[in-house]
Amino acid sequence: MHLGSFEEKRRRLVEKLEREGYIRSERVKKAMLRVPRELFVPEELRHMAYEDTPLPIGHGQTISAPHMVAMMTELAELEPGMRVLEVGAGSGYHAAVIAEVVAPSGLPRDQWGHVYTVERVPELAEYARRNLERAGYADRVTVIVGDGSKGYPPAAPYDRIIVTAAAPEIPGPLIEQLKPGGRMVIPVGDRYMQYLYVVDKLPDGRIKTRSVTPCLFVPLIGEHGWREYEY
């Protein structure tokens, strides 16, 4: 692999995220080293795939910045074998990173977990599906078209829920679909002020929330999110 190749750029980005404290575990590091982000961005932006910045993916949406993917994945404390719901598939990149942790390429398939990712824009769901297939994640990630603010009841309950669009408040159905002992990572707020929250459902069913950092996401549009006109 010659210097400046995607693989080399990926390695340098991962090292930078590690130095900056966004990547803290071997698991997340390995996952981000494996998933080719260049396959999840539009062709004409591939040269920017390893800049630490969000990039447009069409329909007014973005693929999140790598440091945000790293931070949310670390906060989720994923383990191999877990069942995860992602709300907001977008490009499919974050779902692939999650899949690399819960169903790592080296692990026997019968020990794999699974990622369900919901996307409200049908064209983006198709885009995510294509990207995931090309990158080799089709059998570890299921892409669903729909309103993820309602969760995805057919595969519930989930060990982890990761929401990649900002909600006005923590959607009730997502709390319901979390296993006792489960965790959700979710941005909450409006276009001016958002915070990333970690929501733990304790084994006895009580809910504990803490805000971690200010952040900036596109809105979660849906029944338990924003109405398009009010955002």
Residues that bind ligand SAM (CB under 6 A): 61-64, 87-88, 90-91, 93-94, 118-121, 124, 147-149, 164-165, 217-218, 220-222, 225
Residue 203, number of CB atoms within 10 A of its CB? 10
Torsion angles phi and psi, residue 144, rounded to 5: -120, 135
Q: Which of 14, 156, 37, 48 is nearest to 171 (CA)?
A: 156
Is 64 an annotated catalytic residue?
A: yes
With residue 115 as reference, give the H or E element that holds it. strand 114-119
Taking the complex as a whole, how short is the minimal distance between the CB of residue 92 and ligand SAM, in angstroms? 6
Torsion angles phi and psi, residue 6, rounded to 5: -55, -40
Taking the complex as a whole, how short is the minimal distance between the CB of residue 106 and ligand SAM, in angstroms? 23
Nearer to ligand SAM, 27 or 203 (CB): 27
Nearer to ligand SAM, 44 or 208 (CB): 44
Q: Is the dihedral of CA 119, 150, 99, 22 positive or negative?
A: positive
Instruction: Please check whether residue 142 is in contact with residue 117, taking contact to mean a CB–CB distance below 8 angstroms.
Output: yes
Which residue type occupies 65? A
Taking the complex as a whole, how short is the minimal distance between the CB of residue 94 and ligand SAM, in angstroms? 3
Nearer to ligand SAM, 2 or 130 (CB): 130
Nearer to ligand SAM, 188 or 220 (CB): 220
Q: Among 5, 25, 64, 149, which one carries the catalytic annotation?
A: 64
Is omega for the bond preceding 180 within 30 degrees of 0, making it cis? no
Nearer to ligand SAM, 69 or 82 (CB): 69
Taking the complex as a whole, how short is the minimal distance between the CB of residue 193 and ligand SAM, in angstroms? 17
Termini Cα distance of the chain: 46
Instruction: Please check whether residue 104 is in contact with residue 67, taking contact to mean a CB–CB distance below 8 angstroms.
Output: no
Taking the complex as a whole, how short is the minimal distance between the CB of residue 221 and ligand SAM, in angstroms? 4
Q: Which residues are known catalytic residues?
A: 64
